[in-house]
Amino acid sequence: MKTLKGFTFIETTVVLVIIAFVSAFSFPFFAKYLNRTKLESASRDITSTLRVARSYAITRNEDYFVKFELDGSGLYWIAKNLTPDTPEKKEKLPQAVTFQAVSPTTKIIFNPRGALTSGINSQIILRHKNGNEKWIDIYATTGTVKIK
């Protein structure tokens, strides 16, 4: 007698139930991972934008700034200090991420030496809707940008 090779219906069903069970329990962890990734990505994008503005200020030998809108739109952009109404690079935060605070002002200006014109360290706080935060520090004397 010839034996048939393959899986029975019960074996296939058991495997599918196990896959469904594992998927159901791993989904919350995956959702947390995605939320954390959005916040980290937004902080890296802002850091990159600040570094580009600093680089423009140094290489083009004029003041450049990054302006942050705290109205909930999540917009921020780079512009020359002489032509503030013409942004050179405009960005937007991902959904669920907002600017919690930008201090001391919503406009961070870099001079041709790469330092902040205010002479005061600046800080940006990003918040995800789940409550997690990322802090970005900009040091006045050097213009260095760091994520905390």
Instruction: Respond yes or no on whether the N-terminal peptide bond of residue 104 is cis (omega within 30° of 0).
Output: yes
Region 128-146: mean pLDDT is: 95
Q: What is the pLDDT of residues 28-44, one digit of tens each?
A: 888 888 888 999 999 99
Q: How far is CA 23 from the centre of its chain?
A: 28
**pLDDT tens for residues 105-114?**
899 999 999 9
CA dist 59 and 57 (Å) reads 6
The residues spanned by each domain of the chain are 35-147
pTM over 0.75: yes
Q: Are 49 and 76 in contact (CB under 8 A)?
A: yes
> Which of 30, 95, 81 is CA-nearest to residue 53?
81
Superfamily name with CATH number, domain 35-147? minor pseudopilin epsh domain (3.55.40.10)
CA distance 57 to 16: 59
